[in-house]
Amino acid sequence: MARLPDILRTKSNDRHLYAVGRIRALETRLLDKDIVRELVEAPTLRDVYNDLRDTEYGEEVVATEETLDFERLLSLETRQMLDLIDSISPDPELTDLIIYQFDVQNIKMLLKARLAGAPAPDSLYTFGRFPLDDLRALVQGESVNYMPRWLADAVSKVEREWKNTPNLRIIDAILDGALAMAQLEGAQNAHRPVLITYFQLMIDTQNVNAFTRIRISERSKNQFEQFFVPGGELSLAFFKDTWDTTIRELGRIFENTSFHNMVVKSLEEYQTEGTLTMLEVEKKRLLLELLKPSQYITFGPEPILAYLITKLYEIELIRLIMVAKKNGLPVEDLRKRVMVYYV
């Protein structure tokens, strides 16, 4: 598939200007906060469909409204968006860093089915960069030569670690960590400071999330080391040196970091409700806030990746809302889970 019109193929500057121009038009079609509020407060799943009718999701609504098959709706929107990104991106090696998440999710499901006897997945994501048969072969221990080394190494590491720690969380931790480090390395190789900072922040939030959950559940320091991902601003020594701090004082550890609110709000929620929803909410808030300056960049891959990431968050948000409506989750509980989009 041609990624750009031929007239732009030879001039790097023109290629980026064309792509960023298209992205600016797409950004105006992202759901605004008023629409998100309407979706959250909609009484039923059918009402959510009706509220989406006049948005960018209108065609997909029409195609799926008879059965309210929202997974198909979101799949159609994702496929259309990724095809467009492929057609305009002058830097596929960078956009691929984000799209690899679908391959990683597929590998997680396949590994859990093989190692833990979990039910074989009924369906896998078709949005990744690698054929599903090749992913299945990789998980079965076959050599797939063209796969990125980091992905094959991660699968091998899961195999080794599983023998000592047969825990589903280990599969998630190893694959998520491998993806995060590959994303950071890709941004560093491209010398894109904004993207480097974004992926470093993603690693840090992942580590803070794991640290907080492990401390609250009173698991060991060694278990945290299994989950720790290098490459962020916060080193492993930072976490190990503060391990003996009481749960109540955890917020103080992060007082001079970007993660203070993430930890404090999560601890407050845990003490009052016994849940840790705010860890994910604050993680998304930090990452989305970091992307906002990309709207002022007129040249380069940053606006394209910022749109891609934001759009995938939006699709994830709609899925969360639709699942909540299908299952009758109270509006107040749903509002807390998506409050990052009100900021």
3-state secondary structure 70-127: HHHHHHHHHHHHHHHHHHHCCCHHHHHHHHHHHHHHHHHHHHHHHHCCCCCCCCCCCC
Domain boundaries, the chain: 11-91+305-343, 92-189, 192-299
Q: What is the pLDDT of residue 3?
A: 46
Fold of 92-189: V-type ATP synthase subunit C fold (1.20.1690)
Q: What is the pLDDT of residue 2?
A: 39
Helix (H) or strand (E) holding 206: helix 193-216
Give the length of the chain. Answer: 343
Same fold yes or no, 11-91+305-343 and 92-189? no
Q: What is the pLDDT of residue 298?
A: 79
What is the rounded distance in angstroms from the CA atom of residue 322 to the CA atom of residue 49? Answer: 9
Q: What is the pLDDT of residue 7?
A: 38
Q: What is the pLDDT of residue 339?
A: 72
Give the CATH number of domain 11-91+305-343: 1.10.132.50
Global pTM value: 0.90
What is the rounded distance in angstroms from the CA atom of residue 317 to the CA atom of residue 37? Answer: 12
What is the rounded distance in angstroms from the CA atom of residue 202 to the CA atom of residue 206? Answer: 6
Q: Are 254 and 263 in contact (CB under 8 A)?
A: yes
What is the rounded distance in angstroms from the CA atom of residue 161 to the CA atom of residue 169? Answer: 11
For tokens 């992926």, what's the residue? 199
Q: What is the pLDDT of residue 12?
A: 56
What is the rounded distance in angstroms from the CA atom of residue 25 to the CA atom of residue 338? Answer: 25
Q: What is the pLDDT of residue 226?
A: 86
For the record, the structure tokens of 129 come out as 């960069």
For the record, the structure tokens of 81 come out as 């968006």
For the record, the structure tokens of 211 come out as 């640290």
What is the rounded distance in angstroms from the CA atom of residue 311 to the CA atom of residue 320? Answer: 14
Listed in sequence order, the residues at least 6 apart from 308 whose beta carbon sits closer than 8 Å to its beta carbon are 81, 85, 95, 98, 99
Q: What is the pLDDT of residue 106?
A: 97
Q: Are 188 and 196 in contact (CB under 8 A)?
A: yes
> pLDDT digit of tens for each residue in the chain (343 aa)?
334 444 334 455 678 889 999 999 999 999 999 999 999 999 999 999 999 999 999 999 999 999 999 999 999 999 999 999 999 999 999 999 999 999 999 999 999 999 988 777 878 999 999 999 999 999 998 988 889 999 999 999 999 999 888 888 899 999 999 999 999 999 999 999 999 999 999 999 999 999 999 999 888 888 899 889 999 999 999 999 999 888 888 889 999 999 999 999 999 999 888 888 888 888 988 998 998 888 778 788 999 999 999 999 999 999 999 999 999 999 988 998 887 665 4
* Burial of residue 94 (number of CB atoms within 10 Å: 0-12, 13-18, 19+): buried
* Burial of residue 197 (number of CB atoms within 10 Å: 0-12, 13-18, 19+): middle
Q: What is the pLDDT of residue 6?
A: 46
Cβ count near 113 (within 10 Å): 14
